A and B are shown apart, each in its own frame.
Chain A
Amino acid sequence: MKSLQELAEIREKMKGKVALREGQNGIRVVVGMATCGIAAGARPVLNTLVEEVEKQGLSEKATVSQTGCIGICRLEPIVEVFEPGKEKVTYVKMTPEKAKQVVSEHIKGGRPVYEYTIGEK
């Protein structure tokens, strides 16, 4: 270790990787991962969400986790976004591409992607 700079670089690189262990803070992104969800393709959606959150440097702001059956199996894969003080947003029939968009527009930008939510046709 020749400089503080070097130490800071390792710290920045690793920080996002251990941030997961600080528990749930800020935004919670939950993917329905019951049998119905998995069958409809929830796994790649979940993985994309995790990947994008880290790639876009949002690890300290949002955590991605799974949950059981949300109840509307015909609309799986379902992704719900919980933000403190705001109403829950439910996305339905998700795909990895849609998930990417949700991360950059909703989680990062703060604007829900209404066209994928449950209310829209």
Chain B
Amino acid sequence: MIRSHVLICGGTGCTSSGSPAIREHLENELKKQGLDEEIKVVQTGCFGLCALGPIMIVYPEGTFYSSVTEEDVTEIVSEHLLKGRPVERLVYNPKSEEAPHGVTSLSETPFYKSQMRIALRNCGVINPEEIDEYIALDGYVALGKVLTEMTPQEVIDLVKASGLRGRGGAGFPTGTKWQFAANNEADEKFVVCNADEGDPGAFMDRSVLEGDPHAVLEAMAIAGYAIGGTHGYIYVRAEYPIAVKRLKIAIDQAREYGLLGKNIFGTKFDFDIDIRLGAGAFVCGEETALLTSIEGFRGEPRNKPPFPAVKGLFAKPTIINNVETLANIPQIIVKGPEWFASMGTDCSKGTKVFALGGKINNTGLVEIPMGTTLRQILFEIGGGIPNGKKFKAAQTGGPSGGCIPEEHLDTPIDYENLKAIGSMMGSGGLIVMDEDNCMVDVARFFLEFTVDESCGKCTPCRIGTRRLLEMLNKITEGNGTLEDLDKMEELCHYITNNALCGLGQTAPNPVLSTLKYFRKEYEAHVVDKRCPAGVCKKLLHYVIDPNKCTGCTLCARRCPVSCIAGKVKEPHVIDQSKCIKCGACMENCKFGAISKK
């Protein structure tokens, strides 16, 4: 009889920090100490606090262990699991006033307290490879209810009433999208799940697929019923092996239980799902390119209209929903549209998942109600900026989004507000930058990405982004002129207005938003030939302060290109013409005599 469950995170984050080995070790150790009949080890999806992985939670106490290593396992078993004494040194200690001893209820820690988990509700709670555990927590109840009690139109009306909007970026109302597809008569219709998550630093969808795959399958079946489709595709990138594996297991289990297949719940409704693997092209996250790719062609976007709801996959009416959007659906059906609409702001209902990354203490996954301010996310949940550095900007929406400066930190997050300040919701990547980040360099980074990922079908994107990148490179190398800044802005607007698909239309956003909020930094590069954050190498000089230099020769010995000269016990000098600006001298100087300017 099981008296305790040990949950170990099996998400990608914790897997890469070694959770599979810990799980194996734990299972062996339990067997060795004769506890394997009493204690169950459960592999779950992501808990969200990826920065502190591998994560382990022991129930019923709810003890939250972080950064567990294989060596700790024996102690956890003999002390905690056998004798009931939690291993204090491994217990997550969020350093808060409310939890002076560290042993604290998970939901009370600053990281989890302000979160509201809907899309992530089962992540880190159930074993994603066990359909029974999903069912135990009301899984497939929504599908049952829809098929036996509701008409397709009632389902669509319900989704409309909830106010749910697409979580993939643009925020199109989900119910309306379903309505369009339902209104179109056709012999076949398709439901497609867009799991081609490509923004650098974003991993919301991956975590949902890894932690709660059945929620997505259930939602797709519901969508199929609503629009009159019998077949679904999940387009997921091959770089997500754990997500793909769990999706396959989930689909097999659902088929075995008859939750996918023919005559589901004894009704006349048939629905089945196939997986299509993407090869990692960013453009395939754009819905028409994604459809082209499923059809077996090179992933290139098509003109809209016709919209996919009219003429989509194999020229049939198709709805395409993002993973996170779908993960909300079963909950909306079970708890009602009013419940969902009670959260969030006027035009943006419910919650949003963000992947926190960059210069932030609690790197990980958070789900917050719409309308939460960026400040709350970054400083309360995220734990602020490490090493006492100063916040500079937050980047939302990946390569399609923009940078949000400090003055807008108190803006409540929703689709409209983010757009108004020059960024966008995007899929939910949230990258934090501190005073050491150069905003010109950030814009250049994203442009480099879009230039690589542009499919080349339309000229504004193919050539426009490349020209933009060239100008940015020119500026970071100190060769830019003020005229370039104006030209860049003009080109940005041109690309936005003329590109074929979302990729090109939004590609200039990182440039436009940094130009808007950090123009001074651009001007410093152009006019003063200086990079204020000390990032752009071409504009950087390492200098030795002769008053502080003791002539210890360490820097000269560390310099990989031997460009530092000087006699022992006399101040040294850097030859700027040879210096490659690697910074090795500054790192090694024990007297703080070397600085970069």
Contact = CB atoms under 8 A, between A and B. Distances in A.
Interface string B126-167: 100000110111101100100010000000000000000000
A49 to B, nearest CB: 8
A66 B140 CA distance: 35
A33 B83 contact: yes
A2 B258 contact: yes
A40 B38 CA distance: 19
Given A2-B265, A65-B61, A20 B84 contact: no
A47 B125 CA distance: 24
Contact of B83 (A13, A34, A51, A54): A34
A50 B132 contact: no
Contact of B3 (A3, A13, A50): A50
A24 interface: yes
A15 B139 CA distance: 11
A1 B259 contact: yes
A50 B1 contact: yes
Interface of A is mostly: helix
Contacts of B2: 17, 20, 50
B140 A54 contact: no
Contacts of A65: 3-4, 60-61, 84
Interface residues of B, number: 36
Given A7-B140, A23-B105, A65-B61, A33 B84 contact: yes
A14 B266 CA distance: 23
Contacts of B302: none
Contacts of A32: 84
A11 B138 contact: yes
Nearest to A62: B60
A11 B133 CA distance: 8
Interface in A42-64: 46-47, 49-51, 54, 63-64
B60 A14 contact: no
Contact of A20 (B4, B141, B263, B264): B4
Contacts of A3: 265-266
Given A4-B144, A10-B132, A20 B60 contact: yes
Contacts of B171: none
A68 B83 contact: yes
Contacts of B137: 18
Interface residues on A, range: 35 or more
Interface in B246-303: 257-259, 263-266
A41 B59 CA distance: 23
B83 A47 contact: no
Contact of A14 (B62, B85, B135): B135
Contacts of A2: 258, 263, 265-266
B27 to A, nearest CB: 18
B5 interface: yes
Given A4-B144, A24-B60, A68-B83, A50 B38 contact: yes
Given A10-B135, A18-B126, A4 B84 contact: no
Centre residue among A3, A31, A32, A54 by max chain B CB count within 10 A: A3
Given A65-B84, A68-B83, A68-B85, A46 B105 contact: no
A18 B136 CA distance: 7
B266 A47 contact: no
A50 B59 CA distance: 13
B341 interface: no
Contact of A24 (B4, B62, B84, B266): B62
Nearest to A67: B84
B135 A64 contact: no
Nearest to A31: B84
A51 B1 contact: yes
A107 B264 CA distance: 41
Contacts of A54: 1
A21 B84 CA distance: 17
Given A4-B265, A18-B126, A20-B59, A47 B3 contact: yes
A11 B136 contact: yes
Contacts of B132: 10, 13-14
A66 B58 CA distance: 12
A59 to B, nearest CB: 10
B596 to A, nearest CB: 51
Interface in A72-101: none
B9 to A, nearest CB: 14
A55 to B, nearest CB: 8
B500 interface: no
Contacts of B82: 33, 38, 66
A1 B263 CA distance: 9
Contacts of B499: none
A38 B33 CA distance: 13
Nearest to A30: B84
Interface in B296-323: none
Given A2-B258, A20-B2, A11 B125 contact: no
B330 to A, nearest CB: 13
Nearest to A9: B135
- Most chain A CB inside 10 Å of its own CB: which residue of B83, B105, B132: B83
Given A2-B265, A18-B126, A20-B4, 4 more contacts: A3-B265, A11-B135, A17-B2, A65-B61
17 contacts: A1-B140, A4-B144, A4-B265, A11-B135, A15-B136, A18-B126, A18-B137, A20-B5, A21-B7, A21-B125, A23-B62, A23-B105, A23-B106, A24-B61, A50-B38, A66-B83, A67-B84
Interface of A: 1-4, 7, 10-11, 13-15, 17-18, 20-21, 23-24, 30-35, 38, 46-47, 49-51, 54, 63-68
User: Which 8 pairs of residues, A with B, have the shortest CB-CB distance?
Assistant: A66-B84, A14-B136, A50-B3, A63-B60, A51-B1, A1-B258, A23-B62, A67-B84
